[in-house]
């Protein structure tokens, strides 16, 4: 798609529609006619200026003047804050100031940062203020990102496919080569930078044979071209690497991390990478899980494996991001003492303090696998001498695969606010992963991307809200869900009050609605194997007879208690361990994650478990119908292509919700033998 053919859906939240609000323009339009940039024009500053010119031209219908000194009464001024300036002490390297200041003959809106990247972020923030029709006359903001590393993990393969991708093919690769469409990669960089993303790994963590060669001279020149694009938007490039690379690419017979030849091979390979990409971020590694190679093969542990790579990267300032998604997928899943939820903690907690300073452990938000509802990982806060970062999944693998609307910002907000008690009360997860609790050298948050080469990037246009919201939330975890939602809707759909209200309700309600008609009370899974879409109660790939829910004729749920189950609850700090251990205090929404109970067990709502299952699945369908009705009321008020895309997806969501309702309710009626109290038809 050429730049000239861009659709509204493709532009996402950077569409910069013409401002029709004449009252706002009368008050604020004067600042949008001139841009002043007096410093050195680096590639990052060029990106900021290009974005402002594009936006102001579209918003006002007139291209702004660009100069290196103030020439008009009103202007937007881009400025570097010098060391020693009072404002310098208030900002970190990515921080910025947006401030209206009086001048001799008018006023300027100052966009200032200690670095060029800070100025770029200020430019994008100014555009959000304009999109939400903020009055610029008195604007006075100081912003610093809370999290140091704010990252996206692409799960793209070089054949063009995307693992867990639901929006078309890769924008980076096709036919085992890099794409020639660098303009689209630039537009993606714009989207990411606009919400503060500063790192990206550009290939799948499951590194196959072709992708293993990304760190060779065959592909590094192409990686360097992509890195140059991202560099212009303040984003560092990372690569996922194959732990067995010394065998597959070199002439070695081992990948043992304590073997000197292996260590030297990686040191030389890292030198090659940095000769092409001097600001290369580092490596992302998935090892010893789901048949991926790793240090276990050689009797070594994860500290041994990651430290070897860390030593190679350290002279260049690079880091190793080592994923904690490690478990034995060949276990006997019929054994009720076997518990995948325990695996990450059991593997990594004993190694606390053994990892090098430039190793970060990347921990999924829950101990299982991005379910619609699961407990948070007990690893957060458990390793006070090890860098940790949090991993979310923007791509909706278990939450409707972008065929269903499922707004994940409320879920992520709950996770970030979760109280770990790692250092007593006042240590929520957001304060673990921002590095403040244990004074970590490196820390942050990452997520699996949800984009592909579909025209609207995410398949379901409402799924764009998850990408936007992820960036805004990890920049500032104290932002409310309402603030983030409001920003995205105004930037994407404009300022019609009815559109803002209805889309806000659709997004806000969508996660609990999806949970209602899928898996109940934190039990998770119940999906078809391999592709993970659609209901299949006993079908999950490692399940032999429903071992992710242990449903039988008497009850349902996984006993993870110390008293009678897997002992998983003991992995939490005492306050949470005791809460989850007891049926009296365990939250109902996680009841079946922690306890096996009879179908007649009464929830805190007063309903039995079986009646809750029936009711929520019927309610979920009706709620899905309600989502479509809300959206249908907006016909003619939003772009027609966007309207039809979302309408079609919501129609399909209703049909699929009915399928979930009928399969789940029928299964549990037959399993429990207990009738629905409301005598509804269950097939």
Same domain, 530 and 463: no
Residues contacting residue 89 through CB under 8 Å, at least 6 positions apart: none
> The domain that contains 124 carries what CATH number?
3.30.379.10
Catalytic choice (94, 288, 397, 559): 397
What percentage of residues in the chain have a pLDDT greater than 90? 90
397 is a catalytic site residue: yes
At 116 the pLDDT is 97
Cα dihedral: 513, 517, 521, 525 (round 10): -120
Same domain, 424 and 525: no
Rounded CA-CA distance 561/566 in Å is 6
- CB contact at 8 A, 656 and 535: no
Mean pLDDT of 255-263: 98
CA separation, residue 628 to residues 156, 402, 408, 503, 623 (Å): 32, 15, 19, 11, 9
Same domain, 139 and 160: no
Rounded CA-CA distance 400/397 in Å is 7
Print the domain residue range for 531: 517-558+596-672
Same domain, 117 and 187: no
Task: Decide if pLDDT at 4 tops 50.
Answer: no
Better pLDDT: 290 or 387: 387
Evaluated on CA atoms 523, 526, 527, 530, the torsion sign reads: positive
Task: Decide if pLDDT at 547 tops 80.
Answer: no
369 is a catalytic site residue: yes
Question: Angle at the Cα of 332 (from 327 to 334), degrees rounded to 5?
Answer: 120
- Phi, psi angle pair for 113, to nearest 5°: -150, 160
Task: Decide if pLDDT at 264 tops 90.
Answer: yes
Is residue 279 in some structural domain? yes
pLDDT tens-digit series, residues 639-650: 999 999 999 999
50 is a catalytic site residue: no
Mean pLDDT of 271-298: 93
Same domain, 166 and 127: no
Same domain, 382 and 282: yes
Write out the H or E segment, with its range, that includes residue 657.
helix 640-672
Task: Decide if pLDDT at 371 tops 60.
Answer: yes
Is residue 76 in some structural domain? yes
Rounded CA-CA distance 532/524 in Å is 12
Mean pLDDT of 390-407: 98
Task: Decide if pLDDT at 326 tops 80.
Answer: yes
> The domain that contains 651 carries what CATH number?
3.90.1330.10
> Model confidence at 397, in pLDDT bands (50, 70, 90)?
very high
> The domain that contains 207 carries what CATH number?
3.20.20.80
Task: Decide if pLDDT at 329 tops 60.
Answer: no
Is residue 490 in some structural domain? no
Same domain, 164 and 220: yes
Is residue 679 in some structural domain? no
Cα separation of the two ends of the chain: 47
At 1 the pLDDT is 40
Pairing of β 199-201 and β 149-153: parallel
Rounded CA-CA distance 405/647 in Å is 11
Is residue 680 in some structural domain? no
Q: In 10 A of CB 406, how many CB atoms?
A: 26
At 546 the pLDDT is 45
Is residue 572 in some structural domain? no
Question: Angle at the Cα of 561 (from 673 to 332), degrees rounded to 5?
Answer: 75
Extract the runs of DSSP E, i.e. beta strands, from 373-428: 387-393
- CB contact at 8 A, 312 and 270: yes
Task: Decide if pLDDT at 488 tops 90.
Answer: yes
Catalytic choice (46, 159, 163, 369): 369
Is residue 511 in some structural domain? no
pLDDT tens-digit series, residues 190-209: 999 999 999 999 999 999 99
Catalytic choice (21, 93, 183, 290): 290
Rounded CA-CA distance 369/589 in Å is 17
Same domain, 290 and 329: yes
Task: Decide if pLDDT at 333 tops 70.
Answer: no
Better pLDDT: 569 or 546: 569
Is residue 503 in some structural domain? no
Mean pLDDT of 440-454: 98
Number of domains, the chain: 3
What percentage of residues in the chain have a pLDDT greater than 70? 96
Mean pLDDT of 72-79: 95
At 293 the pLDDT is 86
Question: Angle at the Cα of 523 (from 665 to 461), degrees rounded to 5?
Answer: 80
Rounded CA-CA distance 327/484 in Å is 35
Task: Decide if pLDDT at 526 tops 90.
Answer: yes
Closest alpha carbon to 559 in 330, 236, 342: 342
At 331 the pLDDT is 53
Same domain, 163 and 241: yes
Rounded CA-CA distance 311/358 in Å is 8
Same domain, 387 and 298: yes
pLDDT tens-digit series, residues 578-593: 999 999 999 999 999 9
Domain-ending residue, one of 99, 120, 143? 143
The number of helix segments (H) and strand segments (E) in the chain equals: 20, 18
Same domain, 123 and 185: no
At 285 the pLDDT is 97
Residue 598: strand, helix, or coil? strand
Lowest mean pLDDT among 95-109, 231-245, 614-628: 95-109
Rounded CA-CA distance 326/288 in Å is 6
Extract the runs of DSSP E, i.e. beta strands, from 504-600: 555-556, 597-598
Task: Decide if pLDDT at 334 tops 70.
Answer: no
CA separation, residue 523 to residues 179, 518, 594 (Å): 41, 10, 9
- CB contact at 8 A, 442 and 404: no
> Model confidence at 299, in pLDDT bands (50, 70, 90)?
very high
Same domain, 290 and 345: yes
At 2 the pLDDT is 41
Pairing of β 236-240 and β 282-285: parallel
Helix, strand, coil percentages in the chain from 3-state DSSP, rounded to 5: 40, 15, 45
């Amino acid at each position: 798609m050429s730049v000239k053919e861009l659709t509204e859906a493709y532009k996402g939240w950077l569409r910069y529609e013409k401002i029709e609000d004449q009252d706002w323009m009368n008050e604020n339009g004067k600042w949008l006619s001139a841009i002043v940039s007096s410093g050195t024009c680096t590639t990052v500053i060029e990106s900021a200026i290009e974005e402002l010119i594009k936006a102001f031209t579209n918003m006002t219908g007139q291209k702004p003047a660009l100069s290196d000194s103030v020439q008009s009464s009103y202007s937007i001024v881009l400025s570097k804050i010098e060391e020693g300036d009072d404002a310098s002490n208030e900002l970190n390297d990515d921080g910025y100031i947006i401030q209206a200041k009086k001048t001799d003959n008018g006023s300027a809106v100052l966009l200032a940062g200690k670095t060029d990247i800070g100025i770029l972020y200020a430019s994008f923030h100014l555009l959000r203020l304009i999109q939400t029709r903020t009055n610029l006359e008195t604007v006075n903001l100081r912003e610093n990102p809370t999290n140091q590393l704010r990252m996206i993990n692409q799960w793209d393969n070089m054949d063009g496919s995307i693992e867990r991708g639901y929006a078309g093919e890769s924008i980076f690769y096709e036919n085992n080569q890099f794409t020639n469409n660098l303009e689209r990669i630039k537009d993606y960089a714009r989207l990411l930078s606009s919400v503060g993303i500063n790192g990206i790994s550009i290939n799948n963590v499951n590194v196959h044979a072709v992708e293993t060669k990304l760190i060779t001279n065959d592909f590094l020149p192409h990686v360097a071209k992509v890195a140059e694009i991202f560099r212009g938007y303040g984003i560092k490039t990372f690569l996922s690497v194959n732990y067995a690379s010394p065998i597959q690419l070199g002439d070695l017979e081992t990948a043992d991390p304590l073997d000197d030849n292996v260590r030297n091979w990686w040191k030389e390979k890292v030198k090659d990478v940095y000769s092409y990409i001097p600001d290369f971020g580092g490596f992302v590694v998935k090892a010893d899980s789901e048949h991926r190679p790793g240090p276990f093969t050689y009797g070594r542990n994860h500290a041994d494996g990651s430290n070897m790579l860390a030593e190679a990267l350290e002279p260049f300032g690079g880091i190793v991001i080592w994923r904690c998604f490690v478990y034995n997928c060949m276990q006997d899943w019929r054994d009720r003492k076997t518990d995948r939820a325990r695996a990450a903690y059991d593997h990594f907690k004993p190694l606390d303090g053994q990892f090098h300073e430039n190793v970060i452990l990347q921990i999924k938000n829950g101990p299982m696998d991005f379910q619609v509802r699961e407990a948070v990982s007990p690893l957060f806060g458990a390793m006070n001498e090890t860098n940790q970062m949090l991993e979310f999944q923007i791509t909706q693998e278990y939450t409707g695969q972008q065929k269903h609307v499922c707004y994940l910002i409320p879920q992520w907000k709950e996770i970030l606010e979760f109280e770990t008690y790692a250092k007593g009360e006042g240590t929520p997860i957001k304060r673990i992963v921002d590095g403040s609790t244990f004074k970590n050298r490196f820390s942050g948050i990452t997520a699996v991307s949800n984009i592909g080469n579909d025209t609207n990037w995410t398949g379901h246009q409402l799924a764009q809200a998850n990408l936007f919201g992820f960036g805004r939330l990890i920049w500032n975890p104290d932002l409310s869900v309402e603030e983030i939602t409001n920003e995205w809707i105004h930037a994407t759909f404009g300022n019609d009050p009815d559109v803002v209200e209805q889309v806000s309700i659709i997004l806000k309600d969508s996660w609990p609605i999806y949970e209602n008609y899928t898996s109940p009370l934190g039990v998770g899974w119940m999906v078809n194997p391999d592709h993970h879409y659609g209901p299949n109660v006993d079908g999950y790939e490692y399940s032999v007879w429903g071992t992710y829910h242990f449903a039988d004729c008497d009850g349902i749920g996984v006993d993870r208690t110390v008293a009678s189950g897997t002992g998983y609850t003991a992995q939490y700090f005492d306050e949470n361990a005791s809460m989850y251990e007891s049926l009296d205090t365990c939250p109902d929404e996680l009841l079946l994650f922690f306890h096996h109970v009879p179908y007649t067990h009464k929830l805190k709502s007063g309903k039995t478990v079986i009646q809750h299952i029936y009711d929520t699945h019927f309610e979920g369908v009706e709620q899905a119908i309600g989502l479509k009705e809300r959206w249908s009321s907006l016909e003619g008020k939003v772009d027609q292509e966007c309207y039809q895309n979302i309408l079609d997806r919501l129609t399909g969501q209703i049909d699929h919700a009915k399928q979930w309702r009928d399969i789940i309710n029928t299964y549990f009626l037959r399993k429990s033998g207990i009738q629905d109290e409301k005598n509804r038809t269950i097939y």
